[in-house]
């Protein structure tokens, strides 16, 4: 009997990690899904109806190219990657980019090019008026108003951007019209965005993948993932949230590109590195540099080695940025 109970407890704590991935299928309807040819969501009709109610509260995808073009082939070792949760616009992204460009975050090495993989970015432009019945998240304000609009920031910094909102940042008509979600910013052109609406528990979450141009024909897929922090009961069922994060992770099972890939992720793995969601990605990538709740996952050619560091400053966020690179 004790052995049976122990086995049940192990399954409970591990979220029964061998469960089947949820069924995902193409999704193309809804104004928030415009401008992205590859969009996926759970196959379940009920799940899609819930996701549609969140979609009604946010604006469309932002996709714009920066000022740089690819004049010659870019080596992987010329690229620097940053994964960072901006804490709903509180992070001072402009200051981080300034330090990155100066070499202060890379031991004096001036990055040739960089890619920013951002969670909880905020957009104040191109967001619709509040609609009754639309599902929204409680507003989290940002003291640095000039850093709120991620699209404006990308333009000001001369960076390419793909931004996909996950949820409206505010619950009423009197609050400023903003949404928040995941963004990829780069000194290099971005193309072929893929958006994946994860199985919904507490809030709508959209994983984002795009290609960074290394030459006229060569591309490197990069992506951003942000999993639920709690379940719908908000901390009352801690282990259920742990299992749900595993479900959200497995939803990406057949949709992540093969070959070289870099992912920046806030997995919200509050219960440690043994959480199934963390273990799932570690198996996919053969281990992963990480720092607390935040991770950088690297899969490069066999001739390369991945490195990462945790940046000492939070730059106004509640998360430390992670910075990584390949050596050849």
pLDDT of residue 19: 61
Q: For residue 308, what are the contacts with CB-CB under 8 A and spacing of at least 6?
A: 289, 291, 296, 298, 322, 323, 324, 325
Place of tokens 């000022």: 67
**Confidence label for 187 from pLDDT (cuts 50, 70 and 90):** very high
pLDDT in tens, 144-176: 444 469 999 999 999 999 999 999 998 877 788
Q: Give the number of residues written for the chain.
A: 328
The overall average pLDDT reported for the chain is 86
pLDDT of residue 4: 35
Domains along the sequence of the chain with CATH: 2-327 (3.60.10.10)
Of 40-54, 187-201, 279-293, least confident by mean pLDDT is 279-293
Q: What's the CA gap between 161 and 277, in Å, rounded?
A: 27
Contact predicate 227/198, CB 8 Å? yes
pLDDT in tens, 84-133: 999 998 899 999 999 999 999 998 889 999 999 999 999 988 898 888 88
pLDDT in tens, 17-45: 456 788 999 987 778 998 888 999 999 99
């Amino acid at each position: 009997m004790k052995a049976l109970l122990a086995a049940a407890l192990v399954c409970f704590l591990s979220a029964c990690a061998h469960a089947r991935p949820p069924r995902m299928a193409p999704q193309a309807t809804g104004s928030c899904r415009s401008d992205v040819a590859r969009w996926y969501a759970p196959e379940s009709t009920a799940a899609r109806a819930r996701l549609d109610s969140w979609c009604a509260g946010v604006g469309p995808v932002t996709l714009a190219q920066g000022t740089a073009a690819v004049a010659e082939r870019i080596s992987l070792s010329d690229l620097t990657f940053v994964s960072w949760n901006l804490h709903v616009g509180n992070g001072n992204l402009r200051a981080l980019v300034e330090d990155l460009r100066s070499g202060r975050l890379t031991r004096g090495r001036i990055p040739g090019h960089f890619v920013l993989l951002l969670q909880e970015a905020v957009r104040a432009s191109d967001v619709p008026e509040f609609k009754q019945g639309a599902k929204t998240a409680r507003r989290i304000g940002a003291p640095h108003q000039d850093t709120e609009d991620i699209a404006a920031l990308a333009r000001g910094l001369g960076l390419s951007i793909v931004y996909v909102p996950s949820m409206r940042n505010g619950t009423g008509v009197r609050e400023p019209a903003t949404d928040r979600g995941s963004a990829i910013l780069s000194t290099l052109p971005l193309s072929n965005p893929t958006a994946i609406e994860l199985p919904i528990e507490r809030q709508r979450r959209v994983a984002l993948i795009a290609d960074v141009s290394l030459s006229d024909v060569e591309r490197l897929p990069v992506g951003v993932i942000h999993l639920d922090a709690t379940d719908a009961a908000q901390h009352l069922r801690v282990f259920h949230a742990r299992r749900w994060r595993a479900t959200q992770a497995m939803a990406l099972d057949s949709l992540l590109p093969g070959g070289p890939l870099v992912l920046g992720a806030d997995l919200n793995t509050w219960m440690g590195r043994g959480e199934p969601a963390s273990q799932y990605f570690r198996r996919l990538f053969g281990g992963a540099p990480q720092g607390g709740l935040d991770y950088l996952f690297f899969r490069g050619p066999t001739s390369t080695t991945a490195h990462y560091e945790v940046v000492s400053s939070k730059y106004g966020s509640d998360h430390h940025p992670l910075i990584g690179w390949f050596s050849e």
